[in-house]
Amino acid sequence: MGRAALLRKVASNIENQLTILGASGIEDKLQQGVPEAIESLRTAGIKVWVLTGDKQETAISIGYSSKLLTSKMTQIVINNNSKDSCRKSLQDALLMWKKLTTDSSATPGGSRTGLNEVALIIDGTSLVYILDTDLEEQLFELASKCDVVLCCRVAPLQKAGIVALIKNRTDDMTLAIGDGANDVSMIQMADVGIGISGQEGRQAVMASDFAMGQFRFLVPLLLVHGHWNYQRMSYMILYNFYRNAVFVLVLFWWTKARKLQQKTVLGNNVGHIVAKHSFLLCISPRYWGSNVDGSSLGDLWTLAVVIMVNIHLAMDVIRWYWITHAAIWGSIIATFICVLVIDVLPFLPGYWAFFHIAKTALFWLCLLCIMIGALLPRFLIKVFMQYYTPTDIQIAREAEKFNTSRASQGVQIEMNEIFDPPRR
């Protein structure tokens, strides 16, 4: 007879024919907004795992109250006391999941969305026989297929082991959030650790990457600020590659057009090759008396590239602030100033070059044609995509702007009625 059975037997003998005079309990209610936050995270496609030290019945009750578990979910419970029984439970659970998937696919129009959600509930005793053994792979396979994982009666090291189970086998980012000293190892093991400051102390906050007052603040942190940060960082990296490519591709296409090889780079027979490909191109400006040299063309290309890159960036800006205007248009103005200062220095080869070409209308016409040829196709494509095939974000942004303008018009109409009443 096990220890649990003996405890139940003793409790049944003691708790018999008692007169209850009173009862006491500890209030451990959820924070405000926790159910809505978990529901929002799951709707966004984020898998939510709950690792708690509470017993199984309490953990399941908390799961229902926090909207982690629902009545429509198929629950897989693993609560065993030996390695062999854990192995059998994992195998049976995988077979059950495959059976549910097969039944859903057999129905007309069956898909993963039509399959009932599966929740895995496992206790700490079973994790003792699963973690750091050959059963870890089966647990990972089962847990990754389930929509919700609820681990109860887990120790602090087991919490860290669960995080490591996912972190070491996938490329996904893991985030751990906790409010007590028992969550420190889990927070430190995850890629991103968040500590909640509250009644449990500040141990979790001191060991975390981010700190917040309540759990519900996790939703704007991930779904708003996290999304904005991801979008901005990805665009900045892409834009850096684009900016560098604009400068380098000019030289790349020139070398490809000139068919430069190793011998030509070393200076072998360069004159004959240049004469074959560039005789007419080089002699025609001299025939017409042009005084445009390499420094003048360099000024044109430099200004064209800087203006084009900044206007290209301006086409993607959604909200304009004073610092945005200063960065974009200030960069163009600063480039003009740098070109002017460099061409003023007499010991440089481009001395006074910009002042000569700036007097000609052809320089400004070439600059305008470069802008139109480089940016007009992209501008037309953006206009076509936004008007005929807009994304959900563009539609929501336009609806928000329309509602704001309509609300301001309504306020203006009300003010007109107040200040300008109808006359009889």
3-state secondary structure 191-253: CEEEEECECCECHHHHCCCEEECCHHHHHHHHHHHHHHHHHHHHHHHHHHHHHHHHHHHHHHH
Q: Which domains are seen in the chain, by residue range?
A: 30-225 (3.40.50.1000), 229-401 (no CATH)
Backbone angles phi, psi at 91, to 5 degrees: -65, -45
pTM (predicted TM-score): 0.67
pLDDT value, residue 5:
84
**pLDDT tens per residue across span 122-156:** 999 999 999 988 899 999 999 999 999 999 999 99
Q: Which of 52, 34, 36 is nearest to 44 (CA)?
A: 36
225 touches 206 (CB < 8 A): no
pLDDT at 419: 42
β-strands 74-78, 48-51 pairing: unpaired
pLDDT digits (tens, 9 = 90+) for 229-251: 888 899 889 888 887 887 777 77
pLDDT tens column, 247-292: 777 777 766 655 555 444 555 555 555 555 555 555 555 545 555 6
